[in-house]
């Protein structure tokens, strides 16, 4: 009887302890939530904000509808210095003015990515895109030399070769009426990143139904949907009631692909390092992966296999999807503006004449108007339409107090339409980026590759690839867009993509 009583007493104590702990944690979370709610009350925000759920019930579930909704909000609050939304119990301030964006991006205290990035961790780990603090600083320092211009120029040969394959594919469509070019350009970008990042030819352009590409798109859609539905944030709920199974199925394909390439390349490097003749051959065409396998930190430590996997997955996603989308938007805009296309082709004629030779580094420097076209395309359709940071200490943004723990959404799509810096912002005018027209423009008014300390490490690679591929297309074809801009309907997911592709007609030159 005494033993039973003791067990009962012990059990009661355990239950009481658990209830007490749960009550304490609930109190702490609720008090933090109420504190942020009170601190941020003065910031302009959406109507119909509910406690705990915030504005989540107002958001459209379709990616295209949601993006249109977000753009409408920024138009509604265009004259306000910032805007507040609540996604569940998490507060976000939306920034789309150069002055307020600079306050966040130029402050080393606010370098951590926002809470929503945690849903990228199963796929990309904590590599350069998603890592924070000292890990990010060490990794950025280690990887910066691999993006040196002298190394990037070695990749020109790959870009030219894959652009040539693209031209062969497009020639079969020339003169045959309208077709969707989106997948053609995307697979070209995938071939380029696979060979430059991993040293592996995968012949994606010859395999139109790439499982890897399909899973990238599927994963992007799954993650962004989860990010705007706070009831799916807890893993337990997500994997039982949400899209957890579909998420893991796509994840397996993505990781298997990059993991097999890493193992294959590591074995290849080990083999050729024992053979001086093979080593000479390899040096002619390095890959980012080769450098990752040999890179060491300040203490002489090499990256682990997990570290390398994180960066390769990040390079593969950010290195092909963003550039592919950017080139497709540019093709549509060039095909919609014959006068711009004519100027680009005049410039190409001056640089190349009738020659069909590959593009070299000197040519890239001379393609100044094409670079303006690329920048103006990125202004109207930035590959990353929004990104987010965590506010890591209490601060004031344009007179409003923003507490530690809030998140900032930076919206280049809306920022790039600020009429103070880009009059008639919806017009496609590449001349905006000529040196004489860019002088005095706010440094944070145009940020297609982010800005500040965490700007995109691969932006020179991206612009180089865009120049090579777009120049190759325009040296061979005249482009005619068959969609009005209103028909494109951008999907604001992790990458800005048109819902129904990019439809064009090509005429051989």
Coil/strand/helix, residue 213: helix
Among residues 79, 84, 103, the alpha carbon closest in space to that of 420 is found at: 79
Q: Mind spelling out the 3-state secondary structure of 143-209?
A: HHHHHCHHHHHHHHHHHHHHHHHHHHHHHCCCCCCCEECHHHHHHHHHHHHHHHHHCCCCCHHHCCC
Coil/strand/helix, residue 120: helix
Return d(Cα 147, Cα 307) in angstroms, integer. Answer: 18
- How far is residue 91 from each of residues 40, 80, 399, measured CA to CA in Å? 9, 17, 18
- Phi and psi at 505, nearest 5°, equal -115, 145
Q: Which residues of 372-399 are buried (b: 16+ CB within 10 A; e: fewer)?
A: bbbbbbbbbbbbbbbbbbbbbeebebee
Strand partners, 302: 296
Please, what sign has the CA dihedral across residues 180, 186, 188, 191? negative
8 Å CB contact between 494 and 220: yes
8 Å CB contact between 481 and 335: yes
456 labelled binding-site residue:
yes
The DSSP H or E segment spanning 385 is none
- Phi and psi at 43, nearest 5°, equal -75, 130
8 Å CB contact between 178 and 186: no
Q: Residue 486 CB: number of other CB atoms within 10 A?
A: 6
No. of H helices and E strands in the chain? 21, 11
8 Å CB contact between 118 and 222: no
DSSP structural state of residue 357: P
8 Å CB contact between 245 and 235: no
Return d(Cα 471, Cα 465) in angstroms, integer. Answer: 10
Q: Residue 355 CB: number of other CB atoms within 10 A?
A: 8
Coil/strand/helix, residue 453: helix
Q: How far is residue 128 CA from its own chain's centroid?
A: 12
8 Å CB contact between 473 and 170: yes
**Annotated binding-site positions for heme:** 456
Q: Which residues belong to the annotated binding site?
A: 456
């Amino acid at each position: 009887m005494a033993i039973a009583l003791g067990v009962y007493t012990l059990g009661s104590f355990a239950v009481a302890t658990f209830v007490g702990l749960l009550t304490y944690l609930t109190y702490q979370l609720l008090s933090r939530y109420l504190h942020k709610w009170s601190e941020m009350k003065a910031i302009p925000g959406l109507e119909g904000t509910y406690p705990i759920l915030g504005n989540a019930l107002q958001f459209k579930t379709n990616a295209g509808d949601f993006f249109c909704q977000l753009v409408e909000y920024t138009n509604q609050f265009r004259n306000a210095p910032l805007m507040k939304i609540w996604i569940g119990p998490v507060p976000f301030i939306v920034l789309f003015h150069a002055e307020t964006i600079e306050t966040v991006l130029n402050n080393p205290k606010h370098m951590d990515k926002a809470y929503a990035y945690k849903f990228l961790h199963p796929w990309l780990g904590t590599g350069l895109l998603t890592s924070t603090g000292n890990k990010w600083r060490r990794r950025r320092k280690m990887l910066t030399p691999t993006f040196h211009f002298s190394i990037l120029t070695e990749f020109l040969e790959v870009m030219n070769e894959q652009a040539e394959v693209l031209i062969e594919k497009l020639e079969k469509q020339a003169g045959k009426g309208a077709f969707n070019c989106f997948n053609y350009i995307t697979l070209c970008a995938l071939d380029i990143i696979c060979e430059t990042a991993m040293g592996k030819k995968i012949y994606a352009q010859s395999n139109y139904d790439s499982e890897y590409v399909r899973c990238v798109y599927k994963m992007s859609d799954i993650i962004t949907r989860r990010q705007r539905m706070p009831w799916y944030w807890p893993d337990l709920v997500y994997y039982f009631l949400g899209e957890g199974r579909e998420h893991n199925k796509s994840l397996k394909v993505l990781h298997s692909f990059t993991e097999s390439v890493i193992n294959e390349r590591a074995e290849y490097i080990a083999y050729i390092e024992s053979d001086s003749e093979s080593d000479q051959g390899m040096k002619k065409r390095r890959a980012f992966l080769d450098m990752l396998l040999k890179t060491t930190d300040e203490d002489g430590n090499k990256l682990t296999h997990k570290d390398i996997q994180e960066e390769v997955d990040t390079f593969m996603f950010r290195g092909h999807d963003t550039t592919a989308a950017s080139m497709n938007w540019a093709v549509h805009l060039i095909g919609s503006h014959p006068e711009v296309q004519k100027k680009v082709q005049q410039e190409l004629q001056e640089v190349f004449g009738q020659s069909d030779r590959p593009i070299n580094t000197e040519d890239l420097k001379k393609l100044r108007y094409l670079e303006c076209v690329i920048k103006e395309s990125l202004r109207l359709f930035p590959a990353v339409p929004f990104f987010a940071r965590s506010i890591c200490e209490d601060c004031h943004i344009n007179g409003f107090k923003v507490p530690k723990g809030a998140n900032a959404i930076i919206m280049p799509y809306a920022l790039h339409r600020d009429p103070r810096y880009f009059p008639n912002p919806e017009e496609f005018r590449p001349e905006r980026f000529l040196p004489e027209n860019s002088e005095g423009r706010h440094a944070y008014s145009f940020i297609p590759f982010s800005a500040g300390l965490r700007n995109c490490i691969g932006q020179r690679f991206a612009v180089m690839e865009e120049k090579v591929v777009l120049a190759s297309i325009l040296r061979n074809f005249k482009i005619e867009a068959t969609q009005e801009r209103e028909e494109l309907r951008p999907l604001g997911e992790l990458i800005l993509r048109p819902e129904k592709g990019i439809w064009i007609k090509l005429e051989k030159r």
